[in-house]
């Protein structure tokens, strides 16, 4: 399952989209949106690299 995002916290930096190997994220209206959540391999890269810690894997 793709990470949970706290949308209010997201600053739209695009890092999650840049580091995701599976193309899960896109930035739309300055917020990260999951456009391909089923492709997530739960690698944790987006969670580990979000500069404001908006993402969490459960
Ligand atoms: S955990 Fe990995 S595969 Fe899943 S959305 Fe984050 S970077 Fe992409
Ligand atoms: S890395 Fe974090 S702050 Fe940056 S776009 Fe993704 S969720 Fe938002």
Provide the pLDDT for residue 54.
Answer: 97
Per-residue pLDDT reduced to its tens digit, 30-55 = 999 999 999 999 999 999 999 999 99
Q: Does residue 55's CB lie within 6 angstroms of at least one atom of ligand 2?
A: yes
Residue 35 CA, ligand 2 centroid: distance in Å = 14
CA dihedral (22, 7, 33, 21) in degrees, to 10, reads -10
pTM to 2 decimal places: 0.96
CATH top class, domain 4-56: alpha beta
| Separation CA 40–CA 22 (nearest Å) | 6
Residue 36 CA, ligand 2 centroid: distance in Å = 16
């Amino acid at each position: 399952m793709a990470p949970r995002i706290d949308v209010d916290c997201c600053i739209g930096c695009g890092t999650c989209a840049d580091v995701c190997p599976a193309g899960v994220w896109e930035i739309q209206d300055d917020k990260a949106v999951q456009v391909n959540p089923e492709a997530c391999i739960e690698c944790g890269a987006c969670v580990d690299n979000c500069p404001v810690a908006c993402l969490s894997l459960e």
